[in-house]
Amino acid sequence: MSSWEDLTLGFRLAVGGGRGTAVRLVLATIGIGLAVAVLLLGASAGNANESRQQRENASLVNFDAARGGDPLLYTERTAEFRGEPIRLEYVHAIGPNSPVPPGLDRVPSPGEVVVSPRLNELLASDAGELLRPRLAGTRVGIVKTEALQNPRDLSAYIGVDASLAGYPIYGFGHPGPDRPLAPTVLLVLLIGIVALLTPVFIFIGTTSRIGGANRDRRLAALRLAGASSWQVRRVAAGETLVSAATGLLAGAGLFLLFRSQVANLQVFRFGLFPSDLTPSWPLVVLIALVVPALTVVTTLVAQRHTIIEPLGVVREASPVRRRLWWRLLLVVAGIALLMPGYPSGSDLARKMLMAGALLLLIGIPAMLPWLLERVVARIRGGPPAFQLAIRRLQSDSGTPSRVVAGLCVVIAGAIALQSLLAGQAAFYSWLPTSRQQFSSDLIQFTAVGGKAAEGAVPAVRAVPGAEDVRSIRTLLVSDSGVYLGIADCATITAVTAATSCADGDVFSFKEERALSLHKGQTVTLLDDGKREQRWTYPVDPRPVEFTRGEVAYYAGAQVLATPGALAGIDLSEASAAGTVRPSATDPDFVERVRNAVAPFGWRTQVNTVDGKKLTDEARMFSDVRDILFTGALFILLLAGVSLLVLAQEQVRERRRAIGALSAAGVPVRVVMRSLIWQNGIPLLLGVGTAIVTGIGIAAMATRLLSISLVIDWAAVGVLAVSSAVVVLLVTASTLPTVRSAARAENLRTE
């Protein structure tokens, strides 16, 4: 029989044999299919990122006057509606040749608005009632979806008067600044990819072992009929290739299904177009080759300690005790790479950190089977359910530890990354953890330019329920780049620690020592009309504490002067900053304030105190953290499915034993409890190992990166609890199969 014919026989065995074979094939297809779908998503990441970058670049404005033509007056602002960002672009065409923004047919005239499809939906809905006054112009079109950053973006182009537009631009689209990822973000992403992909490969391997015992029996029958040991290997490979092929097809189907629906999904700030999810062809080919190869290799490796003989399956006479040395080698090498004192933050430190972290992560699936074998070998006694589970684990600790190992790599990776990112986040004051100290019901607003400043403050005061409206006017001290705030004494005593104040007084921010301000010092003040005025300090500024979150602190003013100290200075073009508090709890109060100042367009901005914008890098960390956490939970789900597939298979293979137990009077609940122990003990051990490894990696990494170690216990808790829930659900799902297997009459038919 030729090699091809051996493989064909394998194909035939994989699809023949009725319901049992079909169930086995379906289970393997689900397991491999899910993993393939994840791999295809991974293979699309590059293209998705590139497409996003291209769209982002296409929307960048070009200031190059040399391009000629009529300019477009343009300003872009990010507004907010009920916590969701809305990108507003104010435009005014100077002439017929002014550049048209991407996704539009023409530049909207003053009073016209072009909105994104989702914003259009929102404005048309009841939920958008409070938003309508802000976009009161005539809606003359919809932005073409392909010009948006994300399919579900809220954005609008607003046609305004020249006075309200911004600066001249001469085109859209730019090669764009190359924004490489911050090295630490890159490091985090690489560890994340390994942490998420390693389990996928482990699951593919584990899934291809489904039905291993039956397959071995089948192959033994072939041996009896005269097949050589190499022939049965080829037959086994053929069988496995069928599930790999169906898994690949199912994975591709799942991927395409996800792709078709992706435009409706928005994870955090990211949304994708279906076309973004186009995997790179070389990677598709690689997946199509690696997945079947991996399944075949796993099948053959699984038979390493099994001699398929004509009489049946013969395990090697004395069970081979798992060797520790090579497993320990991975862990020791990992720790060794992370221990030495490399120059903090250096490229070498980062490389060593990555290699060390990867070795430790790979060390988990290597160590766990050994650890489980040793632990269960020492366990004695316990109630019958526990004893049954332990005996089962003693006879085969390989499969359960392999399944759990995949899950544990995810948990360890996620814990390490969450802790690493939490530590890194401590650098950025605007990350969620540090936002809390400012949290209050205070609402802050700014108005740029005299007209907006003079109009906005009364408009805010007029909002029903507005209380404690405090405002200051601001000018830039161009010599030092600091802001001068102008406010009356009532405001100054309310927003600083000053206990006394008289018109003519000047105060400086106590923490701003470097300015060394003094009486007689002359500085240049700059207003929004870019007009310069010379001002001499009439008195020595009194250093005071500015109250955090209050208007002077928030507006970034380092000097506060009463109007009497600014005699002769024209404040008509000074900007304004202010705060307002609602008299009663009203979640939409901020939206009413935004509507009140909307007539001033981009020149006004309203924020809740905890709605401050994140810095770009902090935002990136926050996003990466959220995405990795979601990824970890998704892979956990994948692990759950894999565990489910194996648990079902395990019960199916042990139907006769379960039937015999039941016939001997063992209640089904004892069998179920034993299954919980059987899945729970490896998981408990694995999660423990994962937590230690994850925190260990984070501890060593934070030392190397010179950032503080902040263990994200919430993430640890969520992941550990999710794992426990997965085990319980998986075990519960096997109950019907166990019940059916426990029927004593099965003993006759099995």
Partner 1 sequence: METPLLQGLGLHKAFGPNQALAGAGLEIGAGEIVAVMGPSGSGKSTLLHCLSGIVRPEKGQVLFRGRALPSMSDSERSALRRTEFGFVFQFGQLVPELTCLENVALPLRLGGMKRRPAERLAATWLDRLQVADVAGSTPGRVSGGQSQRVAMARALITEPSVIFADEPTGALDSLSGEGMMRLLSETAKQTNAAVVLVTHEPRVAAYSDREVVVRDGRTREPAVTR
Task: Give me the residues that bind partner 1 (CB under 8 A), please.
Answer: 1-2, 5, 9, 12-14, 16-18, 20-21, 217-218, 220-231, 309-312, 317
In degrees, rounded to 5, the angle at the alpha carbon of residue 103 between the alpha carbons of residues 99 and 106 is 45
Question: Which of 15, 162 has the CB closer to partner 1?
Answer: 15
Question: Which of 9, 506 has the CB closer to partner 1?
Answer: 9
Question: Please, what is the minimum distance in Å from the beta carbon of residue 668 to partner 1?
Answer: 26
Question: Please, what is the minimum distance in Å from the beta carbon of residue 221 to partner 1?
Answer: 5
Question: Which of 225, 567 has the CB closer to partner 1?
Answer: 225
Question: Please, what is the minimum distance in Å from the beta carbon of residue 383 to partner 1?
Answer: 31
Question: Please, what is the minimum distance in Å from the beta carbon of residue 236 to partner 1?
Answer: 13
Question: Which of 127, 224 has the CB closer to partner 1?
Answer: 224
Question: Which of 219, 408 has the CB closer to partner 1?
Answer: 219
Q: What does 521-588 look like in DSSP terms, one character per residue?
A: -EEEEE-TT--EEEEE-SSPPEEEPBPTTSHHHHTTEEEEE-GGGGTT---TT-EEEEEEEESS--TT
Question: Which of 112, 239 has the CB closer to partner 1?
Answer: 239
In angstroms, the CA 17 to CA 24 distance is: 11
Instruction: Report CA-CA distances (Å) from 319 to 307, 316, 377, 748.
Output: 13, 6, 13, 32
CB atoms within 10 A of CB 729: 12
Question: Please, what is the minimum distance in Å from the beta carbon of residue 355 to partner 1?
Answer: 43
Question: Please, what is the minimum distance in Å from the beta carbon of residue 222 to partner 1?
Answer: 6
Question: Which of 299, 674 has the CB closer to partner 1?
Answer: 299
Question: Please, what is the minimum distance in Å from the beta carbon of residue 224 to partner 1?
Answer: 5
Q: Greatest CA span in the chain, whole angstroms?
A: 109
Q: List the alpha helices (DSSP H) in 347-449.
A: 347-378, 384-395, 398-425, 432-435
Question: Please, what is the minimum distance in Å from the beta carbon of residue 387 to partner 1?
Answer: 24
Q: Characterize 79-102 residue by residue with b for buried, 16 or more Cβ atoms within 10 angstroms of its Cβ, and e for exposed.
A: bbbeeeebbbbbbbbeeeebbbbb
Question: Which of 22, 285 has the CB closer to partner 1?
Answer: 22
Where are any strands of DSSP class E within 240-309? 266-267, 270-271, 306-309
Instruction: Report CA-CA distances (Å) from 366 to 291, 395, 404, 722, 724.
Output: 21, 19, 12, 23, 22
- The 8-class DSSP code of residue 80 comes to E
Question: Which of 235, 544 has the CB closer to partner 1?
Answer: 235
Question: Which of 191, 308 has the CB closer to partner 1?
Answer: 308
Structure tokens at 558: 């380092």
Backbone angles phi, psi at 81, to 5 degrees: -135, 115
Question: Please, what is the minimum distance in Å from the beta carbon of residue 614 to partner 1?
Answer: 59
Residue 220's nearest CA partner among 319, 307, 148 is: 307
Q: Characterize 262-277 residue by residue with b for buried, 16 or more Cβ atoms within 10 angstroms of its Cβ, and e for exposed.
A: bbeeeeeeebbbeebb
Cα torsion angle, 134, 137, 139, 145, sign = negative
Q: Which residues contact 577 (CB under 8 A, 6 or more apart)?
A: 444, 445, 446, 447, 471, 472, 474, 485, 551, 554, 555, 557
Question: Which of 433, 746 has the CB closer to partner 1?
Answer: 746
Question: Please, what is the minimum distance in Å from the beta carbon of residue 215 to partner 1?
Answer: 10
CB atoms within 10 A of CB 584: 8
Instruction: Report CA-CA distances (Å) from 183 to 282, 621, 699, 701.
Output: 26, 12, 18, 13
In angstroms, the CA 112 to CA 115 distance is: 10
Question: Please, what is the minimum distance in Å from the beta carbon of residue 734 to partner 1?
Answer: 23
Question: Which of 2, 436 has the CB closer to partner 1?
Answer: 2
Question: Please, what is the minimum distance in Å from the beta carbon of residue 406 to partner 1?
Answer: 29
Q: Which residues contact 635 (CB under 8 A, 6 or more apart)?
A: 38, 196, 199, 200, 407, 410
CB atoms within 10 A of CB 282: 9
Instruction: Report CA-CA distances (Å) from 279 to 214, 241, 246, 282.
Output: 37, 23, 19, 9
Question: Please, what is the minimum distance in Å from the beta carbon of residue 293 to partner 1?
Answer: 24
Question: Please, what is the minimum distance in Å from the beta carbon of residue 395 to partner 1?
Answer: 16
In angstroms, the CA 251 to CA 269 distance is: 27
Question: Which of 310, 717 has the CB closer to partner 1?
Answer: 310
Structure tokens at 513: 């020592």
The enclosing H or E element of 674 equals helix 668-704
In angstroms, the CA 569 to CA 532 distance is: 10
Question: Which of 200, 227 has the CB closer to partner 1?
Answer: 227
Question: Please, what is the minimum distance in Å from the beta carbon of residue 388 to partner 1?
Answer: 24
In angstroms, the CA 265 to CA 262 distance is: 5
Question: Which of 215, 470 has the CB closer to partner 1?
Answer: 215
Q: What does 626-672 look like in DSSP terms, one character per residue?
A: HHHHHHHHHHHHHHHHHHHHHHHHHHHHTHHHHHHHHHTT--HHHHH
